[in-house]
Amino acid sequence: MEKHDTIVILDFGSQYSQLITRRVREAQVYCEMLPHDVAPATLEKLNPRGYILSGGPASVYAPHAPPIPRFVLESGRPILGICYGMQLLAHQLGGAVAESAKREYGFARLHPAKGSELFAGLPPDPQVWMSHGDRITRLPPGFEPIATTDNAPIAAMGDRQRNLYGLQFHPEVVHTPDGPQIIRNFLFRICECEGSWTPGSFVEERVAEIREEVGDRRILCALSGGVDSAVAATLAAKAVGHQLTCVFVDHGMLRQGEAERSLRLFDQHIDAKVLAVDASERFLRRLRGIVAPEEKRRIIGTEFIRVFEETAKSLGDFHFLLQGTLYPDVIESAGPQTAATAARIKTHHNVGGLPADMKFKLIEPLRYLFKDEVRAVGKTLGLPDEMVYRQPYPGPGLAVRCIGEITPERLAPLRAADAIVREEIEAAGLGREVWQYFAVLTPVKSVGVMGDGRTYANLVAVRAITSEDGMTADWARLPHDLLARISSRIVNEVAGVNRVVYDISSKPPATIEWE
């Protein structure tokens, strides 16, 4: 089987690191983002065609500033350093870096030198996005300046003999319109990548890998109803057929009509045995009195595994557990493939919420894909739009949208309000345009007037966001008349609710979910 070119992105803590990964993938070149202190054996296995060094918050002269691994510098492979990555190249190869007299944040006009492969095909004086406080004051031996700005005499540098390059600006952000072209130039002109990584090639590779790893053993799949687990299950079914058994667990925190709809789609489109397990009473009993978000996630993750283990025992011997874990899940859970300095944003039920004594070996064929890439793979596998374009939905379900204690009495109004939000946004034709939309039941009660009487009832928040991959998000500018209909219906149709608010927080600083 053809082995695709790989680019490794070494993460030094930049808020834009994941964007670099996306830009490389968009050029149909496979890449992985790894911590800056990655083990040599990991890189040897990947055999990358080149490296990209991300930016980062540190100064190269700060105590404990993370360095470029020596074996990377000595690999002979092309390297592109971005911002802090560029400064590290200069610092570690004999140049000098100093604090800028004038820090540079925001837009700038780039003046590339003629003949540079890195800037081939760019318009004159393209706009770039700067975000730095240090600058290079002396180039390392063998380097020359290949671009300037009005404030930065060395806005880019290059050593053409060794294929080492640095950019003081960020080509990965949308504020640098020609940034994708710069990244493509590095991939194709300098690293000589082929750009052959496609959804079709991904399917072929993953099916072969699953088949080889599993052999004649059996897989149990955690099927949630979302696109991630559906695509993972379809890949596994294509690989091992009858050796796969899927389990759909109703944990009591599903949305209105979720179980019936999911089982119908599974029956029509997934060529594997699917079992439905109603464990709602069990989960809700374990969650009684629990209000801390991380504790909820931990309990749900542990209980999921216990249900699967018991199900597997009743059906015979299963060696593997298949999950639809995605790259953002791994990154946000600060898993082993993220930078050592990364902060854990949340414990994802697929990543940080699994018990240490789990009896299964995990198979996660989508672990390094973003959501839009998973959808492309789903379409390649022939799954219908109803499954592929289903909005992202957290594994813990309404547990992360019911702030405070989880009880049947609190889930009922949340389930009804959420259904109204979904119905109205989809009826307005915005179901594809808005990345995610849902209701949140808050622990707040407020005074209201309904009819001629005073009420003291629940406050429901509505959340709708736009995003490309879930790593960053902005609140959706829904039409005012749509918001008015949603609010009116919730207050009039959902018992115990007298007030609706709309969440206009972006990510960051907020997260998409409330818990």
For residue 508, whether the previous peptide bond is cis, meaning omega lies within 30 degrees of 0, is yes
Q: Work out whether strand 111-112 and strand 244-250 pair parallel, antiparallel, or are unpaired.
A: unpaired
Cα-flanking dihedrals φ and ψ of residue 394, to 5°?
-70, 145
Q: Which residues pair with residue 454 across a beta bridge?
A: 449
Cα–chain-centroid distance for residue 164? 29
In angstroms, rounded to a whole number, what is the distance separating the alpha carbons of residues 225 and 473?
23
| Residues ≥6 apart with Cβ < 8 Å to 408 | 252, 284
**Helix, strand, coil share of the chain (percent; to 5):** 35, 25, 40
146 CB neighbour count, 10 Å cutoff: 23
Q: CA 89, CA 97: separation in Å to the nearest integer?
A: 10
DSSP state, 402? Answer: B
Q: Are 204 and 1 in contact (CB under 8 A)?
A: yes
Catalytic residue among 32, 104, 172, 332: 172
CA-based nearest residue to 36, from 307, 340, 423, 320: 340
Residues facing 97 on adjacent strands = 136
Distance (Å, whole) CA 157 – CA 146: 5
83 is catalytic: yes
- 213: which 2 tokens? 């790893």
CB 90, CB 166: distance < 8 Å:
yes
355 DSSP 8-state letter: -
Of the residues 83, 191, 193, 221, only one is catalytic, namely 83
Find out whether 473 and 467 touch, Cβ atoms under 8 Å: yes
Q: How far apart are CA 364 and CA 231, in angstroms?
A: 11
Q: Out of 170, 251, 348, 349, pick the active-site residue.
A: 170
Burial classification of residue 379, based on how many CB atoms lie within 10 Å of its CB (0-12 exposed, 13-18 middle, 19 or more buried): middle
The reply to whether 132 belongs to the active site is no
172 annotated active-site? yes
- Cα dist from 258 to 226, 254, 403, 414, whole Å: 10, 6, 21, 14
Q: Which two tokens stand for residue 513?
A: 């979910």
Residue 222: partners with Cβ closer than 8 Å, 6 or more residues away: 229, 247, 249, 304, 308, 321, 322, 323, 324
Which are the catalytic amino acids? 83, 170, 172
